[in-house]
Amino acid sequence: MTGRLLTAIAAALVALMAVTVSAEAEATRTRLSFDQLSGWPQDDHASALAAFQISCGKPGKSLERVCRIAASVAPAKARAFFEGEFIPYLVESAGFLTGYFEPEMSGSLRQDTRHSAPALSLPTGNRSNLPDRAAIEEGALAGRSKALLYMDPIDLFVTQIQGSARIRLTDGRVLRLAYAGRNGKPYTAVGKVLVDRGIMPLEEVTMDRIVAWMRANPAGAGELIRQNRSYVFFRIDEALAPTTGPVGGAGVPLTAGRSLAVDRSVWTYGLPMWIESDLPAGPLRRLVVAQDTGTAIVGAARGDLFIGTGQDAGLKAGRIRHSMRMIVLVPRT
């Protein structure tokens, strides 16, 4: 589920214990104590516990024991629970944090001038070698993938980057597009393309700046979008209430400010993680939970924080692209 418009920041696979898949990670772990976590006493541990308990609806094998305990932990005992049941380990790679959000977009069940781009369902049949974005946009999946609804092409692209969106239809109804899969082609950050072409300096690359450029350059927007060969398919999620966060890669609803997208090849969904970063709005010192993933989220120390839904969340998310220190909380055995 990176600033997902930003380039993937690769990191060496480091970190720890049997909850990871990396032997190298086991060899380079660094155990810490909770008093070495900057800002730990001041965090809202009850909010982190609530997000962790949501993940316990679909726990990984390594988290089954602590999830059973978490089910009966009162909010007032949240800090004691995390300190008693987990050990913090520093991820020794240089960390990098971005933010993402769930957009609220305009859509239509019928194609019109404003809503010309179809949000496609996951295609039927063999999905081992699907075509790239350009071919799909030209109709390569006709007969295998249906249009769930229609959107502005730039709005659709942003929704594909974010992984989900609330769609306000022309008749007033609200639907939620949820991630269903992708075509398996490499992800290319269009922000990096703009930087490489000398159109935008790296320090100014944010989601709102990229979208503004595409709006101001409609003739070039389609060509820029096609530089990202990766293509995301959707489904209509009718199960979630409008006030509930979108479902992440872990299969559970995301919590604004507490759900982190991570590299799924490194980390187990449901792991609590402590992140430390200095953002423009102030220091971020927070306990989050690994509940999502994304094609641009690569490396043990790479994280993408879910900010929330709507325009304000989008502005905040697009401005996060900062170094961070990541600490993973590993269950005691």
Same domain, 86 and 111: no
Q: Choose one of 186, 206, 236: the last residue of a domain.
A: 236
User: d(Cα 192, Cα 209) in Å, to the nearest integer?
Assistant: 13
Same domain, 194 and 222: yes
DSSP character string of 58-117: S--GGGHHHHHHHTT--GGGHHHHHHHHEEEEE--SPEEEEEEEE-EEEEESS--SS--E
109 close to 236: Cβ distance less than 8 angstroms: no
- Residue 200: predicted pLDDT: 95
Q: Which of 48, 2, 8, 39 is nearest to 257 (CA)?
A: 48
- Residue 120: predicted pLDDT: 98
Please give the single-letter amino acid code of residue 204: E
Let me know if residue 327 belongs to a domain. yes
Number of domains making up the chain: 2
- Residue 102: predicted pLDDT: 85
Q: Choose one of 206, 236, 266: the last residue of a domain.
A: 236
Let me know if residue 66 belongs to a domain. yes
Query: Which pLDDT tens digit goes with each residue over 79-120?
Result: 999 999 999 999 988 899 999 988 889 999 999 999 999 999
Please give the residue range of the domain that contains residue 148.
Answer: 104-236
Same domain, 120 and 207: yes
Q: How much is the pTM?
A: 0.70
**Residues in the chain, pLDDT under 70:** 1-28, 240, 242
CATH number of domain containing 88:
2.40.40.10
CATH number of domain containing 205:
2.40.240.50
Same domain, 166 and 202: yes
Same domain, 164 and 66: no
Same domain, 116 and 228: yes
Let me know if residue 11 belongs to a domain. no
Query: Which pLDDT tens digit goes with each residue over 166-219?
Result: 899 999 888 889 899 999 999 999 999 999 999 999 988 888 899 999 999 999
Same domain, 201 and 110: yes
